[in-house]
Every structure is written in structure tokens, then in C-alpha cells.
Amino acid sequence: MISEKFAQSQGIDPNTPNIARVYDYFLGGKDNFAADRLLAEQVLKVAPNAPATARANRGFLIRATEFVANAGIRQFVDLGTGIPTSPNVHEAAQAINPDARVAYVDNDSIVLVHARALLASNAHGVIVVQGDLRDPKGIFEDPELLSHIDFAEPVGVLLVAMLHLMTDQDGPDELVAEIRDRMAPGSYLVLSHVWDDPAGVARTAAEQYAQRNANAPVVPRATEQIRRFFDGFDLVEPGLVFLDQWRPTEDMTNAGADDQFGLCAVGRKP
């Protein structure tokens, strides 16, 4: 747990709600401050299933990582990793391929503090790189990343709960296309996104982030907009579905469409 005093010493403003810390709160974590909890509670008033959606998103991340690792992929780039919550991508991947290499990429100062602390206890095959999704060239030409990940070989790229933090003006479609063009054939894209549900619950929740001046927007998108991110990829079965409907394990209880505010899929580059 990071104190507000330590956060301020790192140039982090604890009084501005932070998307990663709100997500941590929904997951039951302790790495959040009063401003984050206040925003989270406001969101819960309009979207009481937000914590369930956060947990379902985390479950999808791990199941998808395991699927990609079982497909033989031994290197992963997690773009916008968020505050580490066990199990992490490297734990899921290395449980299947012990030599799997993982690069965590984020531009959030508090996320980087946590991720680098994680490295202190598990440095095997894992690096943390500072980078902004709005500058994909800066990420994919970073010398440290290129020394760790060989993009001439298949790679698993994770964009989990990230693109809805970008406005249309930020060009998320162009971003994903650039990432796709840098991926070798046989690579996988793992992606989840807040769904613009017909009842407008996600949009109402997003308004709370804007009203509280969070550090990033939340932009729900329609099903077809999310599907377009997979242009140039072959969708893995079952395709684009609700979070807990993507290859659920036997011990999972399907919450149903009415409780879901996230869509997800995995695509393979042919």
C-alpha cells in the first residue's frame, strides 16, 4: 500500500481521481486514496455491478493469457498494465511457459512504482517500460523493450481495459492498426473494452469520471466499434462476447448480459 505522503514525493497527486486506483478499489485492493474512493462510490450509485465487471475483466485477462501461452507464445507485451494484482500476466504465462518474457508498459507514475516493486521480488523474464499508448512508435522502438521482446517472432499483445480510456480524437483505431502491423504472423491480440450498453448505464458512469476530473476519460463504445479493432485478425472462438462468456471455466457462474459492461475477444494475426 502506498501512502499519500509517498505518492506526493513521487510527483503523484492523490487528490485527483486516478483510473488505475479506482479499478484497484473495485477489485478490493488497498492502493487507492480518498479521491479515488469517492469517485468509485459515485460510480457505484449508477453502476452497482462495476466491481463485478472489474473482476470479470481480470478473469478474462488471465484466461486469455493462459490461452495464448498454451498456443505456444512465449513473449507478451501488456500495454496499460494497471496496478499489479495477483495473478499477474507474467505469473499466468510463466506457469505454462517458464521461460516466457513479459513487458509491462504504462505511463502512470503510481502504476510504474508498483510494477517496479513487483520486479524486486520476481525479476525473471519481466521488465517495466514507461510509455504512452498515444505514442506507439515511442513504445515499440524503445531500446529496453526491443532488447526483451523480438517482434520478428509471434507475440501476445494485451490491450485489456485500455482503449476506452482514449477518445476518438486520440485515434484508437490507428493505434491498434500500427500495433498490428508491428506484430509477426501468428501473434495474438487480447482486448477488452467498456460496452455502450443500450440502457446507457456505462455512459452515465463515464459521466462521473468526467465530473470528478479523473486523470483519463472513460469512453464506452458500441459493439461494431469494438469489433473494428480486430480488423486484420482472425477472431478466436467464441469471438466478441461479454467478459465472463469468453471460454469460461467450469467453476464460473455466468452473470448474464444484463450485468455486463465489458466486451472482449482474442484475435490471431494470420
Q: Within 10 Å of residue 258's Cβ, how many Cβ atoms?
A: 10
pLDDT band for 261, please (50, 70, 90 cuts): confident
> What mean pLDDT comes out for the span 16-31?
90
Residue 97 lies in a domain: yes
Residue 251 lies in a domain: yes
Residue 35 lies in a domain: no
Residue 2 lies in a domain: no
Amino acid 253: pLDDT: 62
Residue 137 lies in a domain: yes
The per-residue pLDDT of the chain, averaged, comes to: 89
Q: What is the CATH number of the domain that holds 187?
A: 3.40.50.150
**Cα dihedral 246, 31, 104, 118 sign:** negative
Residue 123, pLDDT above cutoff 80? no
Number of domains in the chain: 1
Q: What is the pLDDT of residues 149-181, one digit of tens each?
A: 999 999 999 999 999 999 999 999 999 999 999
Calculate what percentage of the chain has a pLDDT beyond 70: 91
The cell for 77 is 507485451
- Which residues, in sequence order, are bridge partners of residue 262? 194
**Cα dihedral 137, 269, 191, 154 sign:** negative
pTM: 0.92
Residue 1 lies in a domain: no
> Are the C-beta atoms of residues 207 and 241 closer than 8 Å to each other?
no
Residue 9 lies in a domain: no
Residue 126 lies in a domain: yes
Could you list the residue range(s) of the whole structural domain that residue 221 is in? 47-268
